[in-house]
Amino acid sequence: MGVLVNTVTVYTNFLLGKYMVEEEQQGSDRAKYGAKILDSLSSYLTEEYGRGFSRSNLAGMRKFYLVYRDRDEAIVQSQIGQLSEMQKTGIVQSPIGQLSVDRQRFPFQLSWTHYQVLMTIDNPEERDFYEREAIRGAWNVQTLKRQYHSSLYERLALSRDKNDIMVLTAQGATPYRPEDILKSPYVLEFAGLDDKSSYHESDLEYAVLNKLQDFLLEMGKGFLFEKRQRRFTFNDKNFYCDLVLYNRFLRCYVLIDFKVDELTHQDLGQMQMYVNYYDRYEIIDGENPTIGVLMCKQSDEALVELTLPKDSNIYAREYKLYLPDKKLLQAKLKKWLEESETTISYQER
């Protein structure tokens, strides 16, 4: 029943928004006429149907239509019958007019509250990305807000090259290669640790495990938890890898170590040892090489490049214990795209 109610709500709000825009466009003074429509329609609908049709709510419906007006034709195609069609499976009645709507062909798959969040995103490509991810991941509204405010789109985009960004916006964030599961940086604010306080690697590990669902969501699509504190014994010496995950899309293990101190070449060598062990003794036919991720407060790309071979499956990625500055990440992404365009233009000469 909840899905039906959401469908009807979104359907109704789109049609009301369309009505207001079309009526407004017929007025001689668009601003004054638009305000008059909002006021009069609010009074009428409130009297007829009760709460939910305030002036601000109607303004949101009007914006909804303006943002998604390119789906108008799909909306029309989903209007497939009169009240007699209500007996058919998957069809619900809209409170606007006598039309029904086919949910399978309906172009909006999220709730009205989801779309209220999405409408705050000005960039159409970014907005479409979050809508697709929310549908695929069955995100609730709280998760959508967190992913947006943690700048998931910008962090994924900054972890890819320019061509991959186009794929990201068009298809979402399904991983196809090791680099696709990496972000820059990872945001672990849900762990509840003060970034300015003193804490140990075990503190961060326990905090993450207490919020395992949030951590797996932050890691991305297809991650499964297998083990914590995986022990390796070599020459009577014990070593422990903090977390062992598995990614079902890449069909490979992902080993994670947290580093709160400065990253060293010993840390990289130790992770290489873990990865080598899994590649030689743990993976089975059909699985891909193991990936190692060192999550550190500050990465050192020069150290990583000099220590590891070029074809290494080991990566050092920074983590943050607070939400990143979204505007700063957007500026970095814009600058990076502009520099990429300049480089491509120069190479083509």
**First-to-last C-alpha distance (Å) of the chain:** 60
Q: How far apart are CA 82 and CA 69, in angstroms?
A: 24
What is the secondary structure of 122-142 as a DSSP string? --HHHHHHHHHHHHHHT--HH
Residue 55 is classified by DSSP as: H
Nearest one of 254, 251, 250 to 241, comparing CA atoms: 254
What lies within 8 Å, CB to CB, of 232 at 6+ separation is 238, 239, 240, 241, 273, 274, 277
- Per-residue model confidence (pLDDT) at position 186: 75
The answer to whether the bond into 185 is cis (omega within 30° of 0) is yes
> Nearest-CA neighbor of 226 among 210, 214, 240, 242?
242
By the 8 A CB rule, do 101 and 108 touch? no
- For residues 12 and 2, the answer to whether their CB atoms sit within 8 Å is no
**What pLDDT, on the 0 to 100 scale, is given for residue 189?**
74
Cα(52)–Cα(209) distance, integer angstroms:
41
3-state secondary structure 269-293: HHHHHHHHHHHHHCCCCCCCCCEEE
Strand partners, 252: 247
Whether the CB-CB separation of 37 and 20 falls below 8 Å is answered with: yes
d(CA 163, CA 344): 12
pTM exceeds cut of 0.75: no
Alpha-carbon distance of 221 to 135, in angstroms, equals 13
Which residue intervals of the chain are DSSP H helices? 2-25, 30-49, 55-67, 72-78, 112-118, 124-137, 141-149, 152-158, 162-171, 201-210, 212-219, 265-281, 301-307, 326-348
- Backbone φ and ψ for 295, nearest 5 degrees, come out as -90, 115
pLDDT of residue 68: 93
Question: To 10 degrees, what angle do helices 201-210 and 212-219 make?
Answer: 100
What is the per-residue pLDDT for 307?
A: 85
What's residue 86's pLDDT? 38
Q: Report CA-CA distances (Å) from 134 to 103, 172, 290, 330, 338.
A: 18, 10, 28, 21, 29
Tally the residues of the chain: 349
Cβ–Cβ < 8 Å for 4, 92: yes
| pLDDT of the residue at 173 | 65
* Residue 298 pLDDT: 80
Which residue in this structure is represented by tokens 């030689």?
A: 280
- Distance in angstroms (rounded) separating the CA atoms of residues 79 and 178: 44
Block means of pLDDT (10 residues each) for the chain, 349 residues, are 73 86 66 70 78 83 91 74 40 49 77 94 89 89 88 78 62 69 74 66 80 84 89 84 92 92 87 93 93 87 83 86 74 72 51
Sorted by where each starts, the structural domains of the chain and their CATH numbers stand as 2-111 (no CATH), 151-326 (3.40.1350.10)
Give the integer Cα–Cα distance in Å for 112 and 24: 23
